[in-house]
A = this chain, B = another copy of it.
Amino acid sequence: MHTPDIHLRSVGTTLPGPPIGNDRLARQFGTNAQWEQWVGSFIGTNTRHLTIDLDSGQQRQTLADLGATAGRRALSSAGLAGSDIDLMVLGTSTPDQLLPATVNLVADRLGVNEVPTYQLLSGCCGAVQAMDLACQLLRTGAYRTALVLGGEASAKHIDLNMDITKLSPAALVSLVLFGDGAGAAVLGVEPTPDSAVLRHVFTRLTGQDRAPGHTVEWFGLGDRNSDKPAATEDYKAIEALVPTMAEEILQEVLDALEWKESDLDFLLPPQLSGQMTRKIADRLGVSGAQEISCVRDTANTGNATPFLQLERVLPLMDPGDRAIGIAVESSKWIKSGFALEKV
């Protein structure tokens, strides 16, 4: 049986509200100029977009809002309606609710109905997991066109009244490290004039016997007054492991396609923080490839990230151009990567 190529037909993204600088965060939480300098030097993230309005404390957008906007843009760019979609997959670590799954609220708004929908709970690798699933399912021949989404809306995690002098370093860094946003892509078995082919996608758990590098809690009625930390990050483990994992992912994708590093025109490295992304990209050392990064402006947008990178790289690709994207999830150490070729 002929296995069809999977075409990336279009990408759409959205970022909520205006960019929020480190100075605005410093003013919000009463930190000093030293803190702002420290964020610039050690984190390297300058701005982010948030679903919470810092002035009013209100959540301006839900993940369903962001997902619907990104999805609408991707559909429009592919010249499709919701009714053309026969499979939908969303990856997120910040669902609006536990039930219904946000993917189904987005589907409703886009006019996607009577099709299977899947929502993956995942961190930085969820968007690649969603693309991976869609590719595998499209290749079965049971579907023609999939809408894949990823995004984060972290408003519920942010307590504007908190005393930051009492915050753990992890919680403090999370404030500057993460941003909100969403992205969507239309994948299909039919080529379109502007599409690129997804030559390879993979995700794989690799965390055997290794403690989680990143945890995020949710609270229910029964434990919402507990003093359990809402998030933890093991920075030392992340700094030690993620660059190596990124190298291994790059090599694995190259090997799977029998591509050489010199064949690569674009590289989409993991977007942890401005500084970490810089270190990882340097370590990967693919000097011939143009780096496509957005983290200094958008912060780490979790499951939105690969879509933000894809939206930037697609218009730059000429026929024959090749790109590889890499995402690493430190929660339980997941590897993921994908390769794109303009035909």
Contacts and interface: CB of A to CB of B under 8 A. Distances in A.
A332 B104 contact: yes
A117 interface: yes
Interface string A202-245: 11111111001011111111111100001000000000000000
Interface residues of A, number: 70
A113 B221 CA distance: 34
A99 interface: yes
Contacts of A157: 220-222
Interface in A24-72: 52, 59
Contact of A218 (B104, B156, B209, B332): B156
Contacts of A207: 100, 104, 107-108, 113
A229 to B, nearest CB: 10
Nearest to A2: B1
Given A120-B120, A136-B142, A332 B217 contact: no
A34 to B, nearest CB: 25
A52 to B, nearest CB: 7
A139 B214 CA distance: 34
A182 to B, nearest CB: 16
A205 B107 CA distance: 9
Interface stretch (A121-129, A187-195, A269-277, A292-300): A121-129
Interface stretch (A15-23, A89-97, A258-266, A315-323): A89-97
A289 interface: no
Interface of A is mostly: loop
A331 B57 CA distance: 28
Interface in A111-144: 111-123, 129, 132-133, 136-137, 139-140, 142
A239 to B, nearest CB: 18
B222 A99 contact: no
B99 A214 contact: yes
Contacts of A133: 118, 133
A206 B107 CA distance: 10
Contacts of A203: 116
A336 to B, nearest CB: 9
A75 interface: no
Contact of A212 (B100, B113, B122): B100
A286 interface: no
A114 B205 contact: yes
Contact of A220 (B111, B222, B230): B230
Given A136-B137, A207-B104, A332-B105, A98 B218 contact: yes
The 7 A-B residue pairs with the shortest CB-CB distance in the complex, in nearest-first order: A156-B220, A100-B331, A104-B332, A100-B332, A1-B1, A218-B218, A113-B208
